Amino acid sequence: MTLERALAHTARACTALGALALAVMMFATNYDVVARSVFRAPLYGAVDIVEMMVLCSAFLGLPEICLRDEQIRVDIVDSFVPPQVIAALKVLALLATILFLGILAANVTHPMVDSWRFGDIKPDTGFPTYPLYALTLFTLIASVAATAVVLIRTFRGRDAS
């Protein structure tokens, strides 16, 4: 299995986990509403669960987005410049993406270590917060790798043509 295929599988697995987190968030909130209204027994820690799951939903799709190179961008310039310039701009965009994701990843490590060292927890469930930082770090690193693969693919495509 090539590195690119392995990364594609990882990215898809991350998206599937994100979908699972979204389902957990939806069911937990519905259960909380019904249990609170009917049995006067709300789900303990519902807010914590939603906050943790929304983080998972938000970040776990990022590697696949990067691999598909489907970030929101303005491509108005495409109608005015020759294809070679567009190709160069695409490379520039990928390099800029790697730089920004790298800055985010590098800086998430500090709060993650602090959270682990000081034993930070979510207020209601008592769930430790460092796994949330770890998950964010993992998705950011996976996204950097995915963008790098797209960059290599772009160069290979150019060489082939």
Gyration radius (Cα) of the chain, Å: 20
Inter-residue contact 149 to 4 (CB < 8 Å): yes
Nearer to another protein by Cβ, of 88 and 152: the residue is: 88
Nearer to another protein by Cβ, of 2 and 85: the residue is: 85
Evaluate the CA torsion angle 77, 83, 84, 89 in order and state its sign.
positive
Q: What is the nearest approach in angstroms of another protein to the Cβ of residue 63?
A: 9
Binding site for another protein (CB under 8 A): 15-16, 18-19, 22-23, 25-27, 29-30, 32-33, 47, 50-55, 57-62, 64-65, 70-78, 86, 89-90, 92-93, 96-97, 99-100, 103-104, 107-108, 110-111, 129, 132-133, 136, 140
Q: What is the nearest approach in angstroms of another protein to the Cβ of residue 126?
A: 16
Inter-residue contact 139 to 59 (CB < 8 Å): yes
147/91 Cα distance (integer angstroms): 10
End-to-end Cα separation, the chain, in angstroms: 25
Q: What is the nearest approach in angstroms of another protein to the Cβ of residue 68?
A: 8
